[in-house]
Amino acid sequence: MLTTDSLSMKDFVVENRGLFEQCAREYNYATKYREKRYTQLNYRFILKEMVDFINGYIEYKEKDSNKYSGKVLGTAKSFYDSMFENKKKYRKKLYLPEIKDSYADFLRGTKDLQTLMESNIERSNRDPEFRMLLTMTDNQYRKLSKVCRDDMQIYLWLATEDSSHEYHISGKLRADFVDDMTPVIHPKKIKPADIQKYGENGPEDE
């Protein structure tokens, strides 16, 4: 059963506090990365849409309507799946210095979503459909937060290039960076040389 203590956003923020703090620092970006554009999930927009979806459900139930009876969870699944599939709507283009602000957006959106879910968990225990919707939302946040964690690591890898404190990431994550089928950060234009450099499965981990 979903409880305030089991919400995935609480553990994620605590467990990744160090990453968020590192991403908030100022870096002297290498020119070859500073001048490139990247594409990333639009965390601010996605988390707001999640909050709006739940609020929309609450308003619908308060009207005591059965208009969408039996359709809510299917709609929610399609809605959440689209966040990783609809690149035009749910991704945005950024320069490297702009990327770090998206993690502050992620934290603010997380707080809003957590507050909303915590305030409705007791109510959801009396409504099986609402309880399942909140559970699906928590699972969606868990998936989103994993991408955010990967993104933060990729960002730090790019931001610390050529520095004495270079941040290292796994070969798989470097390969995901140049695979636009994955949801993590990518160069806006992925060059064949990049794919060849990192390989289908990435270079060996350092």
Cα 182 to Cα 99, 179, 186, 204, distances in angstroms: 18, 6, 9, 19
Band (pLDDT 50/70/90 cuts) for residue 75 is very high
Given a cut of 80, whether residue 203 has pLDDT beyond it is no
Q: For the chain, give me the number of helices (H) and strands (E)?
A: 11, 3
> Could you report the per-residue pLDDT of 134-144, keeping only the tens digit for each?
999 999 999 99
CB 38 within 8 A of CB 185: yes
Band (pLDDT 50/70/90 cuts) for residue 202 is very low
Ordered strands of the 91-95 beta sheet: 91-95, 37-41, 186-187
Band (pLDDT 50/70/90 cuts) for residue 63 is confident
Given a cut of 90, whether residue 35 has pLDDT beyond it is no
State whether residue 187 is helix, strand or coil.
strand
- The whole-angstrom distance between residue 119's C-alpha and the CA centroid of its chain comes to 23
CB 31 within 8 A of CB 159: no
State whether residue 1 is helix, strand or coil.
coil
- The whole-angstrom distance between residue 205's C-alpha and the CA centroid of its chain comes to 24
Band (pLDDT 50/70/90 cuts) for residue 199 is low
CB 163 within 8 A of CB 27: yes
Given a cut of 80, whether residue 40 has pLDDT beyond it is yes
Could you give the CA distance from residue 88 to residue 31 in angstroms, rounded to a whole number? 27
Q: Are strands 37-41 and 91-95 parallel, antiparallel or unpaired?
A: antiparallel
**Residue 39 φ then ψ, to 5°:** -120, 135
